[in-house]
Amino acid sequence: MVRHSRAAVISRLTRYWLSPLPAPLERWRRGPWRPGAFPSGLRSTALTSRLGMWLGLAFAVCFVTGLLSHLIQHPPGWFWWPSRPIRLYQVTQGLHVITGLASAPLLVAKLWSVYPRLFTWPPARTVGHAAERGAVAALVAASLFQVVSGILNIFQTYALMPFFFTAAHHWVAWLLIGAMLIHLGTRRLRSERMSPDRRRLLLGVGAAAGLITLFTAGQTVRPLAPIALLAPRRPNEGPQGLPVNKTATAAGVAAAIHDPAYRMIVAGPTGELSFDLAALNALPQHTAILPITCVEGWSSTATWTGVRLRDLVALAGADPEHAVAEVESLQAGGRYRVSTVASEHVRDPLTLIALRLRGDLLHADHGYPARLIAPNRPGVLQTKWVGRITVREES
Amino acid sequence: MTRGRTLLVLAGVAVLAFAALGLLTDPDIRLAGVVIFLAAVLVLHDGVWMPILLAVTTVVARVRNRKTSESPESGGDG
């Protein structure tokens, strides 16, 4: 058996990495591969660097805020998420969607500025060169994937995506960040001064990103709502002046929620309690002003009235300071049928099983007869049409 | 390559490996769908969108050049 020293292994790897690949025939060099096929004098490495820096920053913000949203919805054991400030998730998720939309013109301009490099001749000089180009292809594909799928998702065009959006958007984000780190390690940022026409181009791209932000931010930033021309949702459109993502009919609960035999079951350490609507209304009622914040970036604040979840937890025989509640919908299926309310949120007196919205009974599409509403939580976890609550002591 | 750059590349490779593991093991991932969509956006961008964008900007630049100056050879935007 031959023993290799560390230096020998590294030198062998380096030689393999730099070993030349066979050159393609010169007569294959046609079309965009011809020298001088891209005459625009506007492109420059300094321009590409600046566009890349802004795009990298936008992607970093998207990655951190997106990962946070993922962790809130699928919390691992070590993760902790507070119930205050009540608008924290509204800010982070609003930032995620706004930054993602603003990165679209940056991505278009960045890819335009490096497009001629796609037709480098020869296409691959060495093994290392081929691997680096493969990493760039992964970076470009993942970037386009994230921006396009994100936009399709906020416009709810699921039919165009042959995958389950949230899982794919999550894993391709890791793909994008990995490829971006490699890109940062192999490229040099250039900071030399730019000519006036390049500056104008950069300004134009910046203006496009700014306008997109201005015309969509209204879906979560209330003063901008009147000019939210590009936003898929307005915060005040829908039954009772509040948007709806899933209607009672779509969830298949339209009949069950009006059944006179409706009871809310609250199961805890001391057994099961059953409440009809009159019993729920007879419990102490509390009012909270809380936003409903969708993962798609829109949010809207409303006044909710109902029973405190911590009061129900206490009735079920658990300590409301240290309890976890599983809130189940009357829906027969669906990914968001059940949500777990961590002790931070159970404890919070603003967490309600709401019976009323803006003083009136909940509209069927807002979760009649009862829905969960808690501070600082994504909308998909604010379970509607609540049929059962299971309480357990925090382990 | 400096040490910092080497670390960036190694971290990138590690993150890529994590992404690949997730894509292969997450039961909610339809791998074929994800791969098809990745390839589709790449091909549509590089093969359809960008050539159209360049053709349009070239025509616009030619028209503008013809209007502002009489120099026939000032190039397009390609």
Q: What confidence tier does A233 reach under pLDDT thresholds 50, 70, 90?
A: confident
- Cβ of A40 within 8 Å of Cβ of B16? The answer is no
Domain membership flag for residue A360: yes
* Same domain (yes/no): A206, A282: no
Flag whether residue B65 sits within 8 Å of chain A, measured between CB atoms.
no
Q: What is the pTM of this model?
A: 0.90
Q: Which residues of A touch B (CB under 8 A)?
A: 37-42, 111-112, 115, 118, 135, 137-138, 140-142, 144-145, 148-149, 161-164, 166-168, 170-172, 174-175, 177-186
Asked if A161's CB is within 8 angstroms of B37's CB, the reply is yes
Cβ(A14)–Cβ(A164) below 8 Å: no
Instruction: For residue A343, give the H/E element and its range.
Output: helix A343-347
Q: Are residues A71 and A144 in the same domain?
A: yes
Judging contacts by C-beta atoms under 8 Å, the chain B residues touching residue A186 are 5, 9
Flag whether A203 is in a domain.
yes
Domains of chain A: total: 2
A42 contacts in chain B (CB < 8 Å): 77
Do residues A218 and A252 share a domain?
no
Residues A344, A82 contacting (CB under 8 angstroms): yes
- Domain co-membership, A283 together with A168: no
Q: Residue A230 has what pLDDT?
A: 75
Q: A279 with A322, same domain?
A: yes
Residue A350, token pair as written in the block? 């603003």
In this model, does residue A66 exceed pLDDT 60? Answer: yes
Considering the domain architecture, whether residues A303 and A199 belong to the same structural domain is answered as no
DSSP 8-state code for residue A367: T
What is the pLDDT, as a whole number, of residue B72?
46
**Contacts with A163 from chain B: Cβ below 8 Å:** 29-30, 33-34, 37
H or E element at residue A312: helix A309-315
Query: pLDDT tens for residues A329-340?
Result: 999 888 889 999
Domain that holds residue A368: 248-393
CB contact under 8 A, B13 and A182: yes
What's the whole-number mean pLDDT along residues A299-312? 94
Pair A253, A350 in one domain: yes
> What is the nearest CA distance from B12 to chain A, expressed in angstroms?
4
Residue B15, chain A, CB below 8 Å: the answer is yes
The reported pLDDT for the residue numbered A155 is 86
Kindly report, residue by residue over A149-172, the tens digit of the pLDDT.
999 998 888 889 999 999 999 999
Contact call for A162 and B26, based on CB within 8 A:
no
Domain of A335, CATH number, reads 3.90.420.10
By percentage, how much of chain A surpasses pLDDT 90? 62
Domain shared by A221 and A280, yes or no? no
Say yes or no: A211 and A274 in one domain: no
If asked whether residues A209 and A262 sit together in one domain, one would say: no
CA pair distance A145, B25, nearest whole angstrom? 20
Please tell me whether residues A147 and A277 are part of one structural domain: no
- Domain for residue A309, yes or no? yes
Taking contacts as CB-CB distances below 8 angstroms, the residues of chain B near A179 are 12, 16
Q: Is residue A239 part of a domain?
A: no
User: Does residue A103 surpass a pLDDT of 90?
Assistant: yes
Is the residue at A351 inside a domain? yes
Q: CB neighbours of A322 closer than 8 A, spacing ≥ 6?
A: A343, A393, A394
**Which of the 8 DSSP states describes residue A284?**
P
For residue A23, tell me if it sits in a domain: no
Residue A36: inside a domain, yes or no?
no
- Is residue A104 a part of any domain in this protein? yes
Residues A277 and A351 in one domain: yes
Q: Which residue of B15, B42, B75 is in closest CB contact with A144?
A: B42
Cβ-based contacts of B52 with chain A (< 8 Å)? none
Based on its alpha-carbon atoms, the radius of gyration of chain A, rounded to whole angstroms, reads 27
- Average pLDDT of B4-26? 95
- Domain end point (choices A227, A256, A271): A227
Exposure class string for A37-74: b at 16+ Cβ within 10 A, else e: ebebeebeebbbbbbbebbbebbebbbebbebbbebbe
